[in-house]
Chains A and B, each alone.
Chain A
């Protein structure tokens, strides 16, 4: 009994404590800091695994206390929480390993890793938040803890990107707070609940419920980079590679998407949302964003910028998926929460490897890099094909499940969006793959560094390969229990038959 209260708290506290300890450590304490970082990441992963098993068996993890009259702080672990928490825990471990290698010898590492841990603690809080208020607390904490990471390099460009980021996200946060307050006024403090709260609602409330929904989605859509609120994301790619990886894969954009999932499923309820008529417009917006992001990506010459626009596109798959009224489509959207994370982090790791090892930043510098860095290029190839949705990779499982769900729901037009998006993804990823493998390398790389036996530092090498292999396995083994797809189906099962 006690354990069910303490586990979520402990999971949250590991990253938080790690952050505090790291801030306190001196800058030179390289070994100790790395040990604390990795130790905390491993402990957290262990806790999350235990909780995943518990949630699977139906254990209720949770704790709540009242902060002010009518406002409660609630931590709770349901299947959806664990999906996000699991992603956060796995990727935190990998990204930490990666960041240790990436930031070798660079200044201000103490500050970096402190905020890094804080950022992960925020994602954990977002995952475990049991009501909108708690969610909002961690959501804003995430904004504040990622800002120092985005501007870490301290360059003019980084500071400018950081400013844009803050303007966007703080405004979004304000809108979100307004929406939460309005909802509080209309319906009181609502805990997240499978099936939602508004299945039998008063028609008189419809207008305000729709208004609140629009505000909620607008507030959350900033981080989820939904068109036209995506402007900050391509700029934020000036951050160091591990930050971009974390930002794009789990932390910021996913927090927005996750919030939208919470609102649709656990506040409104998918049936009520459908009755209110808010899902269809949101689906169209998501579909537009999917295509818009891909079209913009076509014209990019900078690898990380291209990946950023690809994120704009891919995150909207999640939103589109949950707007498909029906369990299969929903599973397709939710599973992309994990799939996009693992694929995109692979690609960003690769981008970091190219930059650190060969000094490559632009697409036209990538010619022949496959020969010099076969493992990284293999990982990039896997990630790119995953994004295109080629079978048997993770992205294919998403597309197939969503496509089936769309047809079940009678929204056949979604198929056209999926196909078009795949074509666009192929149009900007395949030329890169051609460059990597079929062009001759230049006589000299822009800025080459050598590390002994491996093609790059082992700290950068292994996380990249691991995420690539996971991308393959998530697709090939999609029907195993505890695969991303199976877990998404479990969430959906609980949502549709609460």
Chain B
């Protein structure tokens, strides 16, 4: 954008702040590592060979560009807006996660780090990390909450097949937040040879900005594709939010197009008045995992356990740039419950022949509200951030429980 003064795409500042959010709240042991990473990333950004290599792998290994697909029967079902899916589920490894991991693993190679660690919730980030570590010949250790190991077993098997070590985390709530704690503990212990590959737009600076930059390929492609298909920008974008990397990747290239409405969908779990994972709707600003952002916590600042049917959204925080976009009002944040997501999962599978992951099913769940009643030329792009094969067992058991309840 030419008007940088009014651009919403210039953040963060040099200390990693998006407004009051972000920052570098880490132990001293990690601070030199975080500064090293920042330098290495800045250098890579300026290096045309890095970009060229990344583009090559995005095309030939990941399979980009991913299609922008007209969801014809879903459009007819709602009878309103024209619905497009950005098909991140068609990427190699089955989700958007691979876009970011490719960039980080190439950085790990540049920094001569032979060992890579990652945290994972649903397992998609773990699978992507295991995949690229295999491709680039690096050792890979993935931390995964014991609860998630149980509910996302196919991904555990995939990671092991790819040669990664999966370490179940038994501390705390045994989900994504605890996996991240354990990954940080590992990093602080293995400072010399280890690269920490964070899976979302959170953590200490430069992670939120770096992961966003790697994911912006989603929005950049969408922009080109919608211009080719429709000759204009969409009216609205919709994406689900856990940490918020698929959403940030789609949203960021459109932030300065003020006519494009942008919607993020948090996980409302059992309901916003019960246990959920909607940090913006139900939390407030605090400090965890290296950044200041909206968090679910009690009045003493103790972090509360999140709940979502989707392991990938089951996190009590959100990326700091989302907190900022929420406060300035550029992005509207909605939420969808477990039940709503499940209904959308089934609807999409049956009408489109696409089994979505439970995460983007939260975004699909808001189409009723965002698409129905809109004029036929109203264009909505939904980020179909991942495929649902991994969720079939948990969907089946959830439906069984509902029937027997």
Chains A and B come from one and the same complex: no
Which residues of A pack against B, CB within 8 Å?
none
